[in-house]
């Protein structure tokens, strides 16, 4: 490796380097002066660092060369697709840190912010990986930090339980993933790079030797399915979402899911591209089951965070529709959907934390009277719920529209529109979902509660996060074109 290549490689992974240094800085400050009150130093550092990273990513994305940058002997591949995911991760980090500033048990804890940053670094490498070894390293870096964060509040039994469950499920599925990857390694005669594996698979598919490959594919899908919370690998979701500190729940539900989809799309479109005809039916089924089960169970939840957990499972189902509709439209739809989902879900969880703080309860029915106590917060919740439900003029409407449009427009190699059924199922599902999202709004806007005249005060961090996310939801719900253009460009860069 020449010096020039090294420099190019370092430049390519600059956002990760900055975040890594930031994480080390935060942990070091935490270690140097233990026991002292450091207030919001760590939170502010994290927010500042995330902001800088975001700017770096935007700068890099603007100057992105048309050809993908392959760095470190092809271990890492940087293109617009990766840049868009990095952008989502850093924005999610920024917002998660913002809503952590006033959360009991985590707000002044340097370790907490450090882990948050390290897991973001892992996600960046997951999205950028171009090699199965790199993929696994990125995935584990992300996951291990998140396991600890989920169980971060050690005094709380639910939090500890959440951490333990997340770890056990995560370790289990990651082993299955590793097994699948090792099978792939064997079948291809020791290849690890995506492009090389794909080339070998092309030959094997031409010889009709796909059955063993399908075994590897299913095992790998288990690992990715866990990350994106697809049924039947979703069992951890409700407990982890309920038990984790709320900012972490928000972060897992958006950033970790986005990272899961980054590898899902890359891997299935590139590595398993030659097997496309074989896996489309499988992933379509996964999408159908995921959204249907997620929505049906979400309807019955009384705890707001658990409801959001099942709703996020259902959202994974819609996103999988976009993955199934292989092609530019489908991938662009997933990217757009995920980007708006980052804003929406963080807003929803921020309101969950505010409401829980005010009433001491996580139940939906205890959010009654919120619109009288805090009209602004209630409005943010309204926007988040309607955006999740896909109602205009909010960003979620465009997200759903793009996904369904991609599914209806998809034509299989024989020229048939074979995914219309999936779009119709998705549409019916979004009606079911509307029901439970509206029920939340009913409670906050219609139901009366004791103490509903007591105004609810909210701290600045939450206000800023909510204002940003709501503004984003409305902006992208009306002017969707810039983001959609970026998504389309990113989708073109996948292959």
Partner 1 sequence: MGTDGDYFMDFNSLLLTLIVFAPVTAAVIIFLTPKDKTLFVRIIAATATGLTLILSIVAFVLYDRAAGAAQYQFQGIAPWVPSLGISYHVGVDGIGLTMVLLTGIVGFMGVLISWNIKDRPREFFAFFMLLVAGVFGVFVSLDLFLLIFFYELSIFPMYILIATWGSTRKEYAAMKLTLYLLIGSIIALVGVLAVYFSAQFPAGVLPEGATRTFDLLLLQQSNIPIEVQRIWFLPIFIGFGVLAGIWPFHNWSPDGHVAAPTAVSMIHAGVLMKLGAFAAIIAMRLLPDAAREQMPWVILLVTVNVVYGAAIAMVQKDFKYVIGFSSVSHMGLVTMGFATMNQVGLNGAVLQMWSHGIMTACFFAVVGLIYDRAHTRQINELSGWARYFPLATVAFIIGGLVSMGMPGLSGFVAEFQIFMGLWQGPFFGQIWYYPIIAILAIWGVILTAAYVLRIVQQVFFGEWDPHKWHDLRPSNFGDKLALITFSVLMIVVGLAPALLLGTIELGTKPLLALLGGG
Q: Does 445 bind partner 1 (CB under 8 A)?
A: yes
Q: Does 51 bind partner 1 (CB under 8 A)?
A: no
Q: Look up residue 434 and give its two tokens.
A: 């509307």
**The only residue of 229, 441, 466, 490 in contact with partner 1, by rule CB under 8 A:** 441
Q: Does 424 bind partner 1 (CB under 8 A)?
A: yes
How far is the C-alpha of 109 from the C-alpha of 35, rounded, in Å?
11
Burial-class residue 149 by CB neighbours within 10 Å (0-12, 13-18, 19+).
buried
Q: Does 386 bind partner 1 (CB under 8 A)?
A: yes
Residue 399 Cβ vs partner 1, minimum distance, rounded to whole Å: 13
Residues 314-373 that bind partner 1 (CB under 8 A): 371-372
Q: Does 74 bind partner 1 (CB under 8 A)?
A: no
Q: Look up residue 113 and give its two tokens.
A: 């912010």
**The only residue of 156, 405, 468, 492 in contact with partner 1, by rule CB under 8 A:** 405
Please count the other Cβ atoms lying within 10 Å of the Cβ belonging to residue 103.
Answer: 22
| From 144-152, 185-193, 351-359, 397-405, span contacting partner 1 (CB under 8 A) | 397-405
Residue 255 Cβ vs partner 1, minimum distance, rounded to whole Å: 27
Are the beta carbons of 223 and 173 closer than 8 angstroms?
yes
How far is the C-alpha of 370 from the C-alpha of 377, rounded, in Å?
8
The residue count for binding partner 1 (CB under 8 A) is 36
Q: Which residues on neighbouring strands pair with residue 324, listed in sequence order?
A: none
Q: Does 168 bind partner 1 (CB under 8 A)?
A: no
DSSP state of 303: B
Q: Does 467 bind partner 1 (CB under 8 A)?
A: no
Q: Which residues on neighbouring strands pair with residue 139, listed in sequence order?
A: none
Residue 371 Cβ vs partner 1, minimum distance, rounded to whole Å: 7
- At 129, is the secondary structure helix, strand, or coil? strand
Residue 222 Cβ vs partner 1, minimum distance, rounded to whole Å: 32
**The only residue of 214, 393, 449, 452 in contact with partner 1, by rule CB under 8 A:** 393
How far is the C-alpha of 337 from the C-alpha of 333, rounded, in Å?
6
Residue 17 Cβ vs partner 1, minimum distance, rounded to whole Å: 35
**The only residue of 417, 451, 454, 457 in contact with partner 1, by rule CB under 8 A:** 417
Q: Does 471 bind partner 1 (CB under 8 A)?
A: no
Q: Please choose, from the candidates 430, 442, 421, 440, the residue with its C-alpha nearest in 3D space to the C-alpha of residue 390.
A: 430
Task: Write down the residue that tokens 């029915």 correspond to.
Answer: 365
**The only residue of 76, 150, 255, 423 in contact with partner 1, by rule CB under 8 A:** 423
Instruction: Tell me the Ramachandran region of residue 217: left when phi exceeds 0, alpha when psi lies from -120 to 50, beta otherwise.
Output: alpha
| From 29-37, 218-226, 249-257, 390-398, span contacting partner 1 (CB under 8 A) | 390-398
Q: Please choose, from the candidates 379, 354, 341, the residue with its C-alpha nearest in 3D space to the C-alpha of residue 99.
A: 354
**The only residue of 241, 261, 264, 397 in contact with partner 1, by rule CB under 8 A:** 397
User: Would you mind telling me the total number of residues written for the chain in this entry?
Assistant: 495
One-character DSSP codes across 232-271: TS-THHHHHHHHS-HHHHHHIIIIIHHHHHHHHHHIIIII
Q: Does 375 bind partner 1 (CB under 8 A)?
A: yes
Q: Does 300 bind partner 1 (CB under 8 A)?
A: no
Residues 248-277 that bind partner 1 (CB under 8 A): none
Q: Please choose, from the candidates 87, 390, 357, the residue with its C-alpha nearest in 3D space to the C-alpha of residue 247.
A: 357
Residue 78 Cβ vs partner 1, minimum distance, rounded to whole Å: 24
| From 24-32, 293-301, 350-358, 480-488, span contacting partner 1 (CB under 8 A) | 480-488
| From 85-93, 236-244, 288-296, 375-383, span contacting partner 1 (CB under 8 A) | 375-383
Please count the other Cβ atoms lying within 10 Å of the Cβ belonging to residue 48.
Answer: 13
Q: Which residues bind to partner 1, rule: CB under 8 A? A: 371-372, 375, 379, 382, 386, 391-393, 397, 401, 404-405, 408-409, 417, 420, 423-424, 427-428, 430-431, 434-435, 438-439, 441-442, 445-446, 480-481, 484-485, 488
């Amino acid at each position: 490796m020449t010096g020039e290549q090294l420099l190019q490689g370092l430049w390519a992974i600059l956002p990760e380097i900055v975040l890594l240094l930031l994480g080390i800085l935060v942990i070091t400050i935490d270690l140097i002066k233990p026991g002292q009150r450091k207030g919001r130093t760590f939170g502010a550092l994290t927010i500042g660092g995330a902001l800088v990273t975001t700017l770096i990513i935007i700068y890099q994305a603007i100057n992105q060369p048309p050809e993908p940058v392959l760095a470190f002997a092809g271990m890492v591949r940087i293109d617009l697709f990766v840049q868009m995911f990095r952008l989502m991760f850093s924005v999610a980090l920024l917002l998660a840190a913002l809503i952590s500033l006033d959360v009991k048990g985590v707000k002044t804890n340097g370790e907490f912010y450090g882990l948050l940053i390290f897991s973001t670094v892992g996600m960046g490498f997951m999205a950028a990986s171009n090699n199965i070894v790199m993929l696994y390293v990125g995935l584990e870096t992300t996951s291990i930090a998140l396991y600890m964060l989920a169980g971060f509040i050690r005094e709380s039994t639910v939090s500890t339980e959440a951490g333990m469950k997340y770890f056990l499920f995560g370790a289990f599925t990651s082993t299955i993933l590793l097994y699948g990857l090792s099978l792939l390694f064997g079948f291809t005669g020791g290849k690890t790079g995506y492009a090389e594996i794909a080339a070998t698979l092309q030959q094997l598919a031409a010889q009709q030797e796909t059955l063993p490959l399908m075994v590897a594919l299913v095992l790998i899908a288990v690992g990715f399915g866990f990350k994106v919370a697809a049924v039947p690998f979703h069992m951890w979701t409700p407990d982890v979402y309920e038990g984790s500190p709320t900012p972490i729940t928000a972060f897992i539900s958006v950033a970790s899911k986005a990272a899961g989809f980054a590898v899902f799309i890359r891997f299935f479109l590139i590595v398993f591209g030659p097997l496309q005809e074989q896996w489309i039916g499988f992933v379509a089924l996964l999408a159908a089951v995921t959204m249907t089960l997620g929505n049906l169970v979400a309807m019955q939840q009384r705890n707001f965070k658990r409801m959001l957990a099942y709703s996020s499972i259902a959202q994974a189902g819609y996103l999988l529709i976009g993955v199934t509709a292989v092609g530019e439209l489908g991938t662009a739809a997933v990217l757009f959907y995920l980007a708006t989902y980052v804003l929406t879900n963080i807003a929803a969880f921020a309101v969950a934390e505010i409401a829980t703080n005010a009433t001491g309860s996580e139940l939906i029915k205890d959010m009654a009277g919120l619109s009288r106590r805090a009209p602004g917060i209630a409005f943010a919740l309204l926007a988040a719920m309607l955006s999740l439900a896909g109602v205009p003029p909010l960003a979620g409407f465009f997200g759903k529209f793009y996904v369904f449009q991609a599914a209806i427009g998809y034509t299989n190699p024989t020229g048939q529109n074979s995914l219309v059924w999936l779009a119709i199922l998705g549409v019916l599902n979004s009606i079911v979902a509307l029901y439970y999202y509206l029920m939340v709004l009913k409670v906050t806007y219609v139901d009366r509660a004791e103490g509903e005249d007591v105004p609810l005060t909210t701290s600045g961090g939450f206000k800023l996060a909510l204002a940003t996310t709501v503004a984003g939801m409305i902006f992208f719900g009306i002017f969707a074109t810039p983001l959609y253009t970026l998504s389309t460009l990113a989708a073109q860069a996948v292959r």
